[in-house]
């Protein structure tokens, strides 16, 4: 049996491929390399460059790799601000891409899919922490595109028996502890990489988007999870499906929140750098607080996150950034 990883050259995909290879699994990777990096993919994995919405290309991948019985799907666009400006790009690439993928999976009788969903499907939650059966009312096209993908998988399960696990990530941060793979986005919009770019002197200062939110220090609170812990949840989710369990959704977070100011403070402690920061105006669409209730993943999947300390997460990201100041440079 082998696993097909779609988007395996991306940030979370490449960490998952690394963990699968380390666990001795057979891995096939598909990535368009639009945002991914070939250098991030373990050489032990069989790599195909292409678009999952290209059905003939996907037929070729499944035909050449008849051992594939499960798909892990990371291949989606994920920038909230971009999705507000160009929603159709998200509904085309993310949502329509899912329809085509499931059609080909059904042709080849592939019955298991583990899918990267997001806390953005919950919109502005009424209470914290967020549970899996809380209302899903996204406030941006990115979250909507992923919620639609979850719903499409549900009906594909009813009709064709394709079982799915939707993993709803909270805020992902950190890198492989040896610093060999990490986060490399162009443009970079996420808090921790930007904080570390300031620490490296690549940016002059950090802008903290708003300090008048309804949180203890006024800045947004987020729940950070390491990509290796996410990777392990995906591997457990594949086993869960192979063991004949029903389709389900799980939150993946640490169940602890850190404010943006707390992240900057922790990054100053880890790096020993000053990290100049100023308060700027709010960025549109940021909920006050997002914290996951992730007991379900722990209980049902047996998920045990190892990176439960924000300092440890930042240390791994710092190692990647200091050893790869230009990222993969590809």
Residue 298's φ and ψ, nearest 5 degrees, are -65, -45
Q: Assign 28 to helix, strand or coil.
A: strand
Strands (E), the chain: 2-6, 26-31, 46-49, 68-73, 112-118, 163-169, 171-172, 206-209, 221-222, 224-225, 248-252, 258-259, 277-280, 289-290
118 vs 136, beta carbon nearer ligand UFG: 118
Minimum CB distance to ligand UFG smaller for 46 or for 283: 283
Which one, 166 or 191, has the nearer CB to ligand UFG? 191
Residue 261 near residue 217 (C-beta atoms within 8 A):
yes
| Cβ burial, residue 73 (10 Å; 0-12/13-18/19+) | buried
Contact criterion met (CB below 8 Å) for 28 and 2: yes
Shortest spacing between CB 127 and ligand UFG, in angstroms: 16
**Contacts to ligand UFG by CB under 6 A:** 78, 80, 118-120, 170-171, 189-191, 194, 207-209, 220, 222, 260, 283, 286, 290
Q: How far is the CB of 207 from ligand UFG (least distance, A)?
A: 5
The Cα-based distances of 58 to 32, 65, 72 in angstroms read: 12, 11, 14
Which lies closer to ligand UFG via its Cβ, residue 44 or residue 82? 82
Q: Which residues are catalytic?
A: 142
Quick one: 62 or 115, whose CB is closer to ligand UFG?
115
Q: How far is the CB of 38 from ligand UFG (least distance, A)?
A: 23
Nearest approach, Cβ of 172 to ligand UFG (angstroms)?
A: 7
CA dist 226 and 92 (Å) reads 29
Smallest gap from residue 22 Cβ to ligand UFG (A) = 26
DSSP per-residue string spanning 176-222 = -TTSSS----SS---HHHHHHHHHTTSSS-EEEE-S-SSSTTSS-EE
């Amino acid at each position: 049996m082998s696993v097909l990883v779609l988007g395996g050259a991306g940030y979370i995909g490449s960490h998952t491929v690394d963990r699968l290879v380390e666990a001795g699994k057979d891995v096939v990777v598909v990535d368009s390399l639009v945002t991914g990096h070939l250098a991030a993919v373990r050489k032990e994995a069989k790599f195909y460059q292409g678009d999952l919405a290209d059905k003939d290309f996907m037929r070729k991948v499944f035909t050449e790799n008849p051992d594939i019985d499960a798909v892990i799907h990371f291949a989606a666009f994920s920038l909230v601000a971009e999705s507000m400006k160009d929603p159709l790009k998200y509904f085309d690439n993310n949502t329509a891409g899912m329809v085509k993928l499931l059609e080909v999976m059904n042709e080849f009788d592939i019955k298991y899919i583990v899918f990267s969903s997001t806390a953005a499907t919950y919109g502005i939650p009424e209470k914290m922490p967020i549970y899996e059966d809380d209302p899903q009312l996204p406030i941006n096209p990115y979250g909507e595109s992923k919620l639609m993908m979850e719903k499409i998988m549900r009906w594909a399960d009813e009709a064709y028996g394709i079982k799915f696990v939707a993993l709803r990530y909270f805020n992902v941060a950190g890198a492989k502890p040896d610093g060999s793979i990490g986060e490399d986005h162009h443009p970079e919009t996420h808090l921790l990489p930007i904080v570390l770019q300031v620490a490296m002197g690549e940016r002059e200062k950090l802008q903290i988007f708003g300090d008048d939110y309804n949180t203890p220090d006024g800045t947004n609170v987020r729940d950070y999870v390491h990509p290796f812990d996410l990777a392990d949840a995906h591997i457990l989710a594949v086993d869960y499906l192979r063991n004949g369990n029903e389709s389900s959704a799980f939150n993946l977070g640490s169940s602890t929140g850190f404010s943006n100011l707390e992240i900057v403070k922790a990054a100053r402690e880890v790096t020993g750098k000053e990290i100049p920061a100023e308060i700027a105006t709010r960025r549109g669409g940021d909920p006050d607080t997002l914290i996951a209730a992730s007991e379900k993943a722990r209980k049902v999947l047996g998920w045990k996150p190892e990176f439960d300390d924000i300092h440890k997460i930042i240390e791994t990201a710092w190692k990647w950034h200091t050893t790869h100041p230009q990222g993969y440079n590809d």
